[in-house]
Chain A
Amino acid sequence: MTENNDLWESYDDDIVRKFIFACLLFGAIAFLAGLLAALQMAYWPFNSNLPWITFGRLRPLHTNAAIFAFAGNAIFAGIYHSTQRLLKTRMFSDVLSNIHFWGWQLIILSAAVTLPLGYSHGKEYAELEWPIDIAITVVWVVFAVNFFGTIAIRKQRHLYVALWFYIATIITVAVLHIFNSIELPVSFMKSYPVYAGIQDALVQWWYGHNAVAFFLTTPFLGLMYYYLPKAANRPIYSYRLSIVHFWALIFLYIWAGPHHLLYSSLPEWAQTLGMVFSVMLWAPSWGGMINGLLTLRGSWDLLRTDPIIKFLVAGITFYGMATFEGPLLSIKSVNALAHFTDWIIGHVHGGALGWNGLLTFAIIYYLVPKLWRTELYSKKLATTHFWFAIFGILIYYVSMTSAGITQGLMWRAVDQQGRLVYPDFVETVLRIVPLYWFRVLGGTLFIVGFAIMLYNLFMTLKRAPRPVPELIGDIPKSAELGTGHRKLEGLATVFSVLAFFAILVGSVIEILPTLNLDKYLNPTLTVKPYTPLELAGRDIYVREGCYYCHSQQIRPMVSEVLRYGPPSTVEESMYDHPFQWGSKRTGPDIARVGKKYPDLWHYRHMMDPRSVTPKSIMPNYPWLAEDNTDFLILRKKLSVMRVLGVPYSDEELANADILAEKQAQEIAQKLAADGAPGGLEKKEIVALISYLQALGQKGSPKNETLGSVPQL
């Protein structure tokens, strides 16, 4: 019994130390995966003809590792450390803390195995297949119980602003993850989302955008509110500002998702809402930046002497830059230029490396000496790390923004005769390849800085004594409950419920109307579902992550109509579970690539893109001509699709595999006759070709707006 009492007199810092180690380990992996991906863009042979590290499979590994493993573990370390201190109690349950820790690391490991193997939903930042989705839900609930349990047993009546942000994070991430992951399993590691087309797009970007908001923004703002005043030993600038910007931020953020879908076939009212709410987010976001920077008023000298303050100030400044650029990029006319280009990649990394990265480094430099009761091995090395990181980020950002603007302008350039100036897509790619090399340089600098940090921490720990638990110490006597917002801070349950409602409003208003898809369909335009073979091909497309480089959504703009054909319609993706509109055009849009080229062209292109498009940077896919299509599972796939509302007939269902084999036979025979190797009928390449040839061919929309302009 006495031992137990001892335990309750100290904070659990073991768990914080574990999360820090995990953050550093997975940070290294995330950064190296990013570097390899950057190299693949600059020089395609880095794809190495190996399925599991081709760009399409490496990119989700990189993003998941960066967001959920690196940033995730950093958040948990900071939350576990600061929450206990702000509430003057040990965590609710050490067991739950450990289940949370090990569960999360297992999820990361399973992601590290399954993503390279090609198991993927085909939805960005939500790629992990259904068993892992369930595990994420369980672990997140464990975290929530542990966190709210700690709030319940708190010794400190009022919740400090950092905790408000943690509460919003935990509630919202749960809602986002659960609703975006509703899917129907086909087999152990394959499922189809219940949403299709514009629905799926809307739900996905409601999730995707708010993963940025509630995984990479709100928790980090919470961390800033704790670690900045601690590290600088200064009072927070304005309590009032923290109230206003907190509630404005969480209420407004949830609406902004559709700014990822401007000019798409998503109904326009939703696009307009996405844009205007993004614009309104500017000031609330800057509220956080101001409160951070002005907290340092009067102690700017620390900026010269203390590397931790350097990291914090630079991190907060990058936050300000990214949250100014975000609303700017959401303005339709700016978006028209920037969307699908590397400008967006630059924007994201300004936020991820600048805000999340630098803030994480600051917190770790602050925490490690504290938790191990020692001094940092070298302040000078920390400052060196800082400069490597800053120059790395700046080079990255500048090169990608220029690449994006350059390519965006080339795509839209129309000459005086009304023709595209750069009709050859690959020409616009080759123009920016030098900038891809600059990105490699930027990323390398950032990683060198990180390596310096690892060395510095290693040396620090080598000299550190065995850590002893920190005692909780005196508990302040309970303050008056107070009135107004102050009172609310004392009522944790009411506070959490209000936060939940704040994020619910925008979600419901935007998503609910599109759940009834019929409203947006033109009944005179019918679209045929994919044949079984095409569906098999589509799953290969999803598995290989082609959508990280190719969009399938033609925007209603002159240059797009000239380059790709009539704008995409709602009907065309109505059976697409999941939608594959994509968010980046490293290669051209392929919404209407069907019948553009002969089958043999695709065969040669997939085996070696450079054999038909000299200098292309697309990877080779030789394994598609070696691996067999799984025909037998097609019946199951079609039946799941039918449950989801795709109108397959009984006959198609019963004969799915036979129909597919027949279609494959025809394609393979034609390929062989044209000079490709024989015997391809069972190979995946044939299924993929059938899918590519079906794109844009499933019911062509009549489109009067196009007048007599010929389509290519």
Chain B
Amino acid sequence: MGHDENDGIQELDNPLPGWWLVTFYGTIIFAFFYWIHYTFTNAPDLQGELKLAMDELERVRKNSGGDAGGGGSGGALPAESEEQLAALFAPGDRADQGKVVFAAKCASCHGPEGAGLVGPNLTDKFWIHGKGTRKDILAVISGGVKDKGMPAWSEMLSKEELYSSAAFVFSIKGKNLPGKPPEGNEVP
């Protein structure tokens, strides 16, 4: 029995519950070993763990073959030739699929019709990067132009989406919609 002089509040003096003590000691022991492990042994630190995980990612990307968009190609030219691309872009619904991708991912910068907003007008005859060939378009979409604010889409789109958006851009080329004033060089 404890005391009862505290404004009439009484205090019993029951022993500490066993399970509570076990929990308390358990967490202290865990804390001690965890601390030793991460502070004094050569367990990998956060950077080390990241490195392991990044290596693993690298391996996954290699194994999954070319299927990953530009997956890691970082804007290198597509492997296909212009003719092969022409064949790949040809199916009728390609550009239509691309239009959906474009509306979702590109319209915020290039305008709903591709006539330019933050990014350049894609329907005129002027090109900043290359000459507006299928290969050029695909390259700039995959690799982006980091410093000018054109994202590298190879990381964010599947190969399928990448190619269809390029097919769509190619299909609106030369429509000459009124929009952002021309940038880059005129390509006949």
Q: A residues within 8 Å of B by Cβ? A: 82, 85-86, 88, 156, 158, 160-161, 226, 229-230, 235-242, 244, 248, 263, 268-269, 272-273, 275-277, 279-280, 282-284, 286-287, 290, 294, 327, 414, 416-420, 423-424, 476, 479, 556-558, 561-562, 567, 595-598, 600-601, 604, 611-614, 674-675, 705-710, 712
Q: How far is the CB of A582 from chain B (nearest CB, A)?
A: 19
Contact B72 A240 (CB under 8 A): no
Closest to B180 in A: A675
- Indicate if the CB atoms of B60 and A416 lie closer than 8 Å: yes
Among B35, B74, B117, B119, the residue within 8 A (CB) of A710 is: B74
Residue of chain A at shortest CB distance from B156: A423
Say which residue of A85, A236, A273 sits within 8 Å of B10 (CB atoms): A236
Q: Determine which of B20, B50, B57 lies in contact with A414 in the assembled complex, contact meaning CB atoms within 8 Å.
A: B57
In addition to A596-B146, A598-B119, A712-B156, 20 A-B residue pairs with Cβ atoms within 8 Å of each other are A156-B5, A226-B7, A235-B11, A236-B10, A237-B14, A239-B11, A268-B45, A268-B46, A280-B28, A417-B61, A558-B53, A604-B118, A675-B117, A675-B180, A705-B51, A706-B54, A708-B58, A710-B152, A710-B154, A712-B152
Give Cα A632 to B88, complex, Å. 60
CB B72 to nearest CB in A, in angstroms, measures 6
Cα-based distance from A417 to B158 in the complex (angstroms):
9
Q: Given A423-B155, A556-B50, A674-B118, answer yes or no on A707-B60 (Cβ-Cβ < 8 Å).
A: no
Q: Given A417-B64, A598-B148 in contact, is the A241-B16 Cβ separation under 8 Å?
A: yes
Which B residue's beta carbon lies closest to that of A596?
A: B149
Interface residue B91 (Cβ < 8 Å from any Cβ of A): no
Is B15 positioned at the interface, with any CB of A under 8 Å from its CB?
yes
Total CB contacts across the A-B interface at under 8 A: 197
Digitize B134-159: 1 where CB-to-A-CB distance is under 8 Å, 0 elsewhere.
00000000001011110110111010
Q: Is B55 an interface residue (CB 8 A)?
A: yes
The CA-CA distance from A161 to B46 in the complex, in Å, is 42
Q: Which residues of B contact A674 (CB under 8 A)?
A: 118
Q: Interface digits, B175-188 against A, CB 8 Å rule (1 contact, 0 not)?
A: 00000100000000
Of residues 1 through 32 on chain B, the ones whose CB sits less than 8 Å from some CB of chain A are: 2-17, 20, 23-24, 27-28, 30-32
In the complex, A706→B52 CA distance in Å?
Answer: 10
Question: Is the beta-carbon distance between B2 and A239 smaller than 8 angstroms?
Answer: yes
13 contacts between A and B (CB under 8 A): A160-B9, A230-B7, A235-B4, A279-B30, A280-B28, A286-B23, A417-B64, A419-B155, A558-B50, A674-B118, A707-B51, A707-B55, A712-B144
The yes or no answer to B39 lying at the interface (CB within 8 A) is: yes
User: Is there an interface contact between A420 and B31, defined as CB atoms closer than 8 Å?
Assistant: no
In the assembled complex, which residues on chain A have CB atoms less than 8 Å from the CB atom of B14?
Answer: 237-238, 240-241, 294
Are A417 and B58 interface neighbours, CB within 8 A?
no
Question: Which A residues lie within 8 Å of B2 (CB)?
Answer: 235-236, 239
Q: Contacts A240-B13, A280-B27 known; A290 to B20 CB distance under 8 Å?
A: yes
Complexed CA–CA distance, A279 and B29 (Å): 11
Of B9, B57, B151, the residue contacting A418 (CB under 8 A) is B57
B172 CB within 8 Å of chain A? no
* Given the contacts A268-B46, A561-B54, A476 and B34 also touching, CB distance less than 8 Å: no
- Bound CA–CA A370/B112 (angstroms): 68
- Asked if B82 is at the interface (CB within 8 A of a chain A CB), the reply is no
Contacting residue for A240 out of B16, B30, B38, B45, CB 8 A = B16
* Interchain CB contact under 8 A, A479 and B13: no
A284–B20 alpha-carbon span in the complex (Å): 9
B72 and A705 form a contact (CB under 8 A): no
- B71: which A residues are within 8 A, CB to CB? 417-419
**Contact A597 B12, beta carbon cutoff 8 Å:** no
Q: Which residues of B contact A235 (CB under 8 A)?
A: 2, 4, 9-12
**What chain A residues lie within 8 Å of B81 (beta carbons)?**
none
B174 proximal to A (CB < 8 A) = no
Q: B130 contacts the other chain (Cβ, under 8 Å)?
A: no
Bound together, the chains give a CA A364 to CA B51 distance in angstroms of: 55
A235 vs B11: C-alpha distance when bound (angstroms)? 5
**Could you tell me if A600 and B118 are in contact, using CB atoms closer than 8 angstroms?**
yes
What residues of A have a CB within 8 angstroms of the CB of B6 in the complex? 86, 156, 158, 160
Report the minimum CB–CB distance from A90 to chain B (whole Å). 14
Task: State A235–B14 Cα separation when bound (angstroms).
Answer: 11
Asked whether B46 lies within 8 Å of A709 as measured between CB atoms, the reply is: no
A236-B12 CB under 8 A given contacts A156-B6, A707-B55, A709-B54 = yes
Chain A nearest CB from B45 CB (Å) reads 6
In the bound complex, residues from chain A placing their C-beta under 8 Å from that of B30 are 276, 279
B148 lies within 8 A of A417 (CB): no
A597 with B5: in contact, given A417-B68, A418-B60 (CB under 8 Å)? no
Q: Is B41 an interface residue (CB 8 A)?
A: no
In the complex, whether B84 has a CB less than 8 A from a CB of chain A is no
Residues 39 to 90 of chain B near chain A (Cβ within 8 Å): 39, 45-47, 49-51, 53-55, 57-58, 60-61, 64, 67-69, 71-75
Minimum CB–CB distance for A386 against chain B, Å: 24
Given the interface pairs A419-B69, A596-B151, A601-B109, the reply to whether A239 lies near B27 with Cβ below 8 Å is no
Closest chain B residue, CB of each to CB of A282: B27
A357 nearest CB across to chain B (Å): 24
**Contact indicator A709/B9 (Cβ below 8 Å):** no
Set of chain B residues within 8 Å of A707, measured between Cβ atoms:
51, 54-55, 58
Interface centre among B2, B10, B27, B60 (most CB of A within 10 A): B27
Q: Are A562 and B155 in contact (CB under 8 A)?
A: yes
Given A272-B38, A705-B47, check contact A558 B12 (CB 8 Å).
no
A556 and B46 form a contact (CB under 8 A): yes
Q: Is the CB of A476 within 8 A of B5?
A: yes
**CA A417 to CA B162, docked complex, whole Å:** 15
**Given the interface contacts A273-B35, A276-B31, does A614 sit within 8 Å of B54 by beta carbon?**
no
Cα distance A708–B76 in the bound complex, in angstroms: 14
CB-based nearest A residue for B72: A710
CA distance A658 to B167 in the complex (A): 49
Which among A85, A158, A240, A557 is the interface contact of B3 at CB below 8 angstroms? Answer: A158
In the assembled complex, the Cα of A416 lies from the Cα of B158 at a distance in Å of 12
Whose C-beta in chain A lies nearest to the C-beta of B105?
A424
Which A residues are in CB contact (< 8 Å) with B27?
279-280, 282-283, 327
Chain B residues, Cβ within 8 Å of A597: 118, 149
CA distance A258 to B74 in the complex (A): 37
Q: Which of B49, B54, B69, B147 contacts A595 (CB 8 A)?
A: B147
A239 contacts B12, C-beta separation under 8 Å: yes
Tell me the smallest distance from the CB of B85 to a CB of chain A, in Å: 21
Measured CB to CB, the nearest residue on chain B to A87 is B7
Which partner residue on chain A sits nearest B147 by CB separation?
A595
| Contact partner, B109, options A282, A612, A710, Cβ 8 Å | A612
A268, B23: Cα distance in complex, Å: 26
In the bound complex, what is the Cα–Cα distance between A675 and B111 (angstroms)? 13
A238 close to B13 (CB less than 8 A): yes
Contacts of A158 in B (CB 8 A): 3, 5-6
- The answer for the CA separation of A276 and B39 in the assembled complex, in Å, is 12
Q: Decide if B39 touches A238 in the complex (CB within 8 Å).
A: no
Q: How far is the CA of A23 from the CA of B185 in the complex (A)?
A: 69
